[in-house]
Structure 1
Amino acid sequence: MKNITILGSTGSIGTNALEVIRQKRDEFNVVAISGHTNYKLVIEQIKEFNPKYVSIGTEEGYKVIKKEFPELNLFLGREGLKKLGQLDETDIILTAVSGVIGIEATVEAIKKGKRIALANKETMVAGGVYIRKLLKEYKDAEIIPVDSEHSALFQSLLAGKKENVKNLIITASGGSFRGKKRDELKNITVEDALKHPKWSMGKKITIDSSTLVNKGLEVIEAHELFEIDYDKIKVVVHPQSIVHSLVEYEDNAMIAQLGATDMKLPIQLAFTYPERESSKALDTLDLMKVGALTFEEPDMETFKGLSLAYKAGRIGGTMTTVFNAANEIAVELFMKEKIKFLEIYDVIEKAMENHIPKEIDSLETILEADEKTRQWVYENFGK
C-alpha cells in the first residue's frame, strides 16, 4: 500500500489522480490532500477518501472544514502546503497546484527522500537549478514527471542513453488560436482564449496554451528535468494531441509515446513506475479512429511566448523565474480584462528587460525574484 499526498486535489490533475486511486483502493491510500478555494469539493473528498491531513487555501474554507471535521489535522495556505510536503507517512506526493506556491512543498518532500509526481511545471521553471542540486544531495528522492509531454519524454528516454540523444521534440496542440496572425488576435476575449480544442484544463493553463507560453514553460522544464541543452529541444505543433512527445537519437530513430488525451495514464505511471498496470480508469487509444497525424512548425513570431521562453532559458539564473512570474500576473490581468491578449507578451518581455538575473543558490533567491517581478508587473500594468 502506497500513501499518496495530493497537492491540488480539486483541480483537473488532482481529480484525475483521485479517479486513478478510486480504481485501485487496494494499492493506494490518500494520506493528505490540499485545495485552494473550492472547500466544498475538498469536503466531499474528505468524506470519500478519509485523509489524515488536509490543507485549504482560504480562511473561510478553513473555518467550514474545521467545524465539520474538528478532529482533522487541518492546515491553512502556503504554510499548510509546506507542512504536507514534510509528512513522514507519504510515499508519493503529487504536486498539482498551479504556480510557484508548489515549490516549497516539493523542496520539503525532496528533503524527506520522497517520490514527487510532478505536475507543477513552475517548480522546475522557476527553480530547476536548485531542485536538481537538492536531488543530488538527497539521493533517495526522485521526480517522475506527470505533464503529458514530459511523461512522454521520460518514457521515450528509457529507449536509449542520454549521451545518444539528438533532440527532444515536444508536441503542442497549437492552442485555441492555431493558424491565426497577430492582426486576428488584437481583440481576443477571455472567453475566446478559454476554448481549447483538445484538452479540458484549468483557466490559467488554457490561456497559457493559447499564447504558447505553456509550451515555453515546458521547454524550460524539459531542459531542467533531463539536463538537455536548449539547442536540442524542439517544439512541433501536432493538433491531434496523440503523439505526446518524441526523442530523436543519434542514429535518427525517433521514439514516441502515443496515447488518448487522458491525464490519468501519466498520473498512474508516476504512482506505479517502474511497473505498468492495467486500470479501468485509463482510456484506450483506437488507432483506427485516429486517422491522420499532422505536424507543423510553431509560429514563434505571432506566439512570442515560446521565443521569450527560449531567451529566458538561455540567459538562465533567475530569468526563468521572472518569465514565469510575469506571465502568471499577465494572465491574471488579462482575465480581469485589464490588459489585452497580445499585451501578455509585452508584460513578459518588459519584465525580463527590467531584470538583472542572479545565480540561483537558494529557495530564497527564487522567491525574492518571483515576488519582485509580481510587484513590478502590478505597479506597471495592473492599474
Structure 2
Amino acid sequence: MAVLDLKQKLSILADAAKYDASCASSGAKGRDSRGGKGVGSTEGMGICHAYTPDGRCVSLLKILLTNYCIYDCAYCVNRVSSNTPRARFSAQEVVDLTLGFYKRNYIEGLFLSSGIIRSGDYTMEQLVKVARDLRQVHDFRGYIHLKLIPEASPELVNAAALYADRVSINIELPKDESLAAFAPEKDAGVIRKAMGAVRLGIEAGAEPGRKARPPKFAPAGQSTQMIVGADGASDGEILGRSASLYGAYGLRRVYYSAFSPIPDVSKSLPPQRPPLMREHRLYQADWLMRFYGFETEEIAPPGQDLDLAIDPKLAWALKNRDRFPVDLNRADRETLLRVPGLGAMGVERLIAARRLARLRLADLKRICRSLEKLKPFVVLEDWRPGGLTDAEGLRARFAPAPEQPSLF
C-alpha cells in the first residue's frame, strides 16, 4: 500500500467529509486570543463554510480523522465494502493542520468526524485526543465541533463534550426500520440513548443557582443529521421525526442531507438523488416549526411531501385562504408570523411601527422587501387585496415557471 503524504490525506479526507452537513457553528460562546493569550477565535471572517443565525460567516476545517470504517452502511461511501481510496490522519496531524490553517487565516475552527476504526471507544479516544491537545496543550480558543460515536463509553462522550463547542450524533435515517435495513451494525436505541446523555450533561451544566458550576459542557449544544431520499420516508414523516428529536433531546439543529448515490450502491437504494429543492424545502419547514409556531401536521401531514414549487409557508396560506387577508394594524404576533412574505424581524418592526401610527402601504414597503408577495394576504389603512384572493391564481403567480428545453 502506497504511503500518502499529508496533502494527499487532506484531499481524500476533506472530500469524504462533504457528506456530513451538520457543521454550522451557531451558539458558540465568543472566545478570542486578544491580549496575547491563547490561539484562535470564534469571531471574525474567513473562507465561508457556514453561517451563524446572526449572519456571521464562519470557516471550518472539515475533515474525517479517517475514512476507514468497520461498518457496512449501504448508503455510505466509506463503508467497509466500498472500493474507495482510504486515508488516515494521526491525532497530531489534525492538530498541526488546524493550527497551521488558523494561523494563515484560512479557518476559524474545526469540524472533525471519523469512520469507525477498531471500535467505537478507540475511535472516540482519537477524536478526544485531538480536541484535548488543541485546548490544553495549545490553548486553542477557536470553535470545535466533534462528531460523537454513539457506541463509545459515556466517559469518552463526556470528555468530548467538555472540549468541544458543539457535538453531534447522526440519527442517519428518518425511520428505525430503514436504519436496521441499511445499517445493520447501528442501533437506533443506542443512538437515542447517547443523545439523551448529552442532553442531561448540557442541562446539568446550565442548571441555575449552582454555586460550583462544572466546566462548560458542549456550550453550543448538540445537532444531528438525517439522510433524505435514501428510503421511502415522506416529508411529513421526516419532519415528524425532527419534531420529536427537538422535543426529546433539546437539539439546536436537525440537518437534512439529500441522499447521493455512490459507486457500487445497493440495489435497494434509489439510483438517483432526490431533487435538491426537497432538501431546501425541509429546511424552510424546519424553520417554520422552530421559530414561527407551525405544527408538523400543518406543514406536511404524515405520508405527504412538501410542494417543491412554492415555499411551505405560502403553501399553507393557500390551503387556508379563510384566514386571510390579515389586518396588519390589528393582528397579534402569532397571526402575523403566518403571513407569507413576513419574517420574524419584519413582524417585530411592524409591531413597533404601528404603535406610532396606523400602517399604510408605503410603511409596509419600507419595512418589508417582498411587498408583492404580501399584498394578496394583508389589509392596511389604504390597501385591501380586492380580487387578489384566488388560491389557484396565486399559486401560479408565485410558483416559478418550468424551464423550457433548450435547442442548443
Whose RCO is larger (CA < 8 A, sep 6+)? Answer: 1
TM-score by length of 1: 0.32
- The structure whose residues are more often strand, as a share, is 1
TM-score by length of 2: 0.30
Q: Report which of the two structures shows the higher radius of gyration computed on alpha carbons.
A: 2
